Structure 1
Amino acid sequence: MIDPVLRDIALWTAALVRQFPELTEELAPGRPGPAGHGPTAPRPDLDELVRAERQEALLLHKLHGLTGAGRGAAPIRLHVSDAIRDVTDGVVELEEAVRARLGLPRPGRAAVVERLRRVAALLGDVAQDPVLARHMRDELRRMARRCARALGDAESVVRVSGRCPWCDSVSLRAFPDRRAVLCVNPACVCTEEGCGCHDDPAYRHVWLEEGWPELAAAAGCGAEEFAAAMEEVPC
């Protein structure tokens, strides 16, 4: 049986490989390609493109209060540009950290998708280091979620049975993207001193994977239900 952490790494890596090129298309949608042959294909060196266009857009915004226009006169979407920058930096840092942890030489320069494929190729070695594997999973999941938000994809939510141990309402929901169970009742307030629910209306109680058995016992349901709900993966 495949290790669930390694399975998630493979899934989130595949999601990022698919999503990241879509971000470059969303940066300035409808930009014409050379000689009117359709949209421009993603370029090999995305870093330079993003850096130049974001600087141009920020300069125009600072000087004139305007959103910058790309070469095809399509508005640059700064939230997409920020997501590209965040994911690009994150993938570079992740690859460097993984190779350093495994005692491998520092990686050469490459585009984001190529770096992701190089990291995926190290999965066999990563499997021997549970701490590194969990770090990879968490970072890849975070970046895939960032891509999904920038692309306008809604986060999946799965209803689960049982009652919240704090507010006793049937408000527990599984969020597969986060591998977490949350109480979505905005009126939920616990008895723990200093908890954010006492002074932050947006606060939601969160149970991560290691806390599911305890939550299941308190909620009157089975922890296996939470695990089953997390099987909803990016497609």
Structure 2
Amino acid sequence: MPDLSTSDTALWIASLIRHFPDLCEELAPGRATPFSSHVPAPRTPRADELVRVERREALLLQQEHGLAVPGHGSAPVRLHVSDTIRDITDGVVELEEAVCARLGIPRPRRAPVPERLRRLAGLLGEIEAQPVLARHVRDETRRMARRCARALGDSEQVVRVSGRCPWCDSVSLRAFPDRRAVLCVNPACRCTVPDCGCHDDPAYRHLWPETEWAALAAESGCRTEELDAAMEGPHL
């Protein structure tokens, strides 16, 4: 059986690669349309200063991370999104450098965040051999993926799956299409796999990636066809 920490980490990395570029699109709010009835409030010294700060943030992001902020010359950026971009960028850089140092490989060259994430994904086989490192990488990628999703206002889809959890025997199996994974959402569920995060993290739920759906179907009573259909979207 593949290491569960590694399987979960691969899903979080894939989510970050897919959604991190969307943060740039969200960095500047859209301009008012001709049909908008909103009348802008009078400008104040405080508002002028805020705009100047936000524009400096936009310029700094562009200089440091190569991000072209749409409309930053005329529209203020969303500071919580810029903070998220900075946090994830710094987090990915520090994580890749720490992994390379721990594995004894040369320091990674500079690269955009998605490329760094793909390089980390390529090292998961070696990371798996060091349980402490694997757990750290899993926790960090999960944290950053969740922060990215919050900044984008995403609400992950959840689809009920028939059958019972093989570990806790409750009807708590749910499909998460964005991750293409099935989780047991019972907070009390604990599996018997030593590497699973459900033992040491109250927020973690046992997870079955796509490669384990056949075994899950055989053990839980659901059907693989149902899991495939669930990944297309919610039908609660």
TM-score of the superposition, structure 2-length normalised?
0.54
Aligned to 1:210: 199
Residue 127 of structure 1 and its aligned partner are, at CA, apart by 1.6
How does 1:81-160 map onto structure 2 within 5 Å? Answer: 81-154=82-155
How does 1:218-229 map onto structure 2 within 5 Å? Answer: 227=206
Alignment check: 8 A CA contact 2:55 2:73 kept: no
What amino acid is the match of 2:198? E
1:10 aligns with 2:33: no
Deviations along 1:1-20, one digit per CA (max 9) or x if unpaired, are 32211111111111000110
User: Structure 1 residue runs of 4+, over 3 Å off?
Assistant: 69-72, 155-159, 176-183, 228-232
Residues 211, 27 of structure 1: CA spacing in aligned structure 2 closer, same or farther, 3 A cutoff? closer
Residues 179, 133 of structure 1: CA spacing in aligned structure 2 closer, same or farther, 3 A cutoff? farther
Residues 211, 79 of structure 1: CA spacing in aligned structure 2 closer, same or farther, 3 A cutoff? closer
Q: Structure 2 unaligned runs (5+)?
A: 32-51, 59-69, 161-171, 189-196, 211-226
Alignment check: 8 A CA contact 1:127 1:133 kept: yes
Greater relative contact order, per chain length (Cα 8 Å cut-off, separation 6+): 2
Deviations along 1:24-65, one digit per CA (max 9) or x if unpaired, are 11102558xxxxxxxxxxxxxxxxxxxxx9763569xxxxxx
TM-score of the superposition, structure 1-length normalised?
0.54
Alignment check: 8 A CA contact 1:54 1:78 kept: no
Alignment check: 8 A CA contact 1:83 1:146 kept: yes
Aligned to 2:55: 56
The 2-side partners of 1:179 and 1:97 are apart by 32
Alignment check: 8 A CA contact 2:20 2:148 kept: yes
Residue 228 of structure 1 and its aligned partner are, at CA, apart by 5.8
The 1-side partners of 2:185 and 2:135 are apart by 15
Alignment check: 8 A CA contact 1:95 1:107 kept: yes
- Alignment identity in percent? 58
Q: How many residues align?
A: 160
Q: Structure 1 unaligned runs (5+)?
A: 32-52, 60-68, 160-171, 184-207, 216-225
User: Helix, strand or coil: the match of 1:93?
Assistant: helix
Residues 135, 181 of structure 1: CA spacing in aligned structure 2 closer, same or farther, 3 A cutoff? farther
The 2-side partners of 1:12 and 1:122 are apart by 14
Alignment check: 8 A CA contact 1:12 1:141 kept: yes
The 1-side partners of 2:198 and 2:115 are apart by 31
The 2-side partners of 1:102 and 1:111 are apart by 22
Alignment check: 8 A CA contact 1:99 1:105 kept: yes
